[in-house]
Structure 1
């Protein structure tokens, strides 16, 4: 089972996706944290640490910011939180690089719950780097929506199944 949860920042998508992972798992599921603290953002690192602490008893945490194919194995359940950071970490590699990783993940017989921030509802960013980030985020979202078994939009912790 491959599931895709998307929504705005602080929409409740991580909590909803966590419940799904726990429901699907036959053993303790894995929480893949994609944040890369090379940005030296203390507030963001505190946020990540809170996430890890909240799930410490229910999930095994793996930190992998760039290559998801290294950590996902068959017959397990994984929650990837989040694809937005994965995109940011791999932006210089380009969309094709990310798409190839995702294609490999979809070949593995396992449960994966993908989380992505929905950032495509605003104006077109003025700078090239931000535009590329928003564009690739939209393309990754389209790829996940097309290939996942289910697609769930989350707003204010309310889930709406689209597929």
Structure 2
């Protein structure tokens, strides 16, 4: 089963997607944390610590900011939090390389719950790198929506199943 959860910042995506991963798992699921801590951002560090506290001991945590294919194995359950940070970390590779990596994940017999921030409802950014990031985020979102077994939009911790 491949599930895709998306929504705005602080919409409740992680808590909803975590519940889904726990429901799918037959053993302790894996939480793949994609945040690259090299940015030295104290506010993000606090956010990460809140996520760690929220999930407690229910998941086995793997920190992998760039290459998801090297940590996902057959017959396990994974929560990837989040694809937005995966995109940011892999911007130098370009969309095609990110899509190839995600395609490999879909060929692995396992449960994966993907989380993506919905950042495509605003104005077009003025700065080129930001525009590319928003564009790639939208394209990756389309790829996930097309290929996942289910697609769930989250707003204020309310889930709306689209597929």
TM-score, normalised with respect to structure 1: 0.99
CA distances 1:55-79 after superposition (whole Å, capped 9, x unpaired): 1310000000000001000000000
Secondary structure of the residue aligned to 2:92 is: helix
Alignment of 1:124-143 (within 5 A): 124-143=124-143
1:29 and 1:140 map into 2 onto residues whose CA distance is: 24
Q: Match for residue 28 of structure 1?
A: 28
**TM-score normalized by the length of structure 2:** 0.99
Per mean C-alpha deviation after superposition, the further-off stretch among 64-73 and 41-50 is 41-50
Q: Deviations along 1:29-59, whole A, 9 cap, x unmatched?
A: 0000000011110110121122112213100
- Runs of at least 4 residues off by over 2 Å: none
Structure 2 unmatched runs, 5+: none
Which stretches in structure 1 are left out of the alignment for 5+ residues? none
1:4-43 to 2 correspondences below 5 Å? 4-43=4-43
Matched, 1:79 2:82: no
- State the Cα RMSD in Å: 0.6
- State how far apart, in whole Å, the 2-side matches of 1:105 and 1:45 are: 28
Residue 114, structure 1, aligned to residue 99, structure 2: no
**What is the total number of aligned residue pairs between the two structures?**
163
Residue in 1 that maps onto 2:96: 96
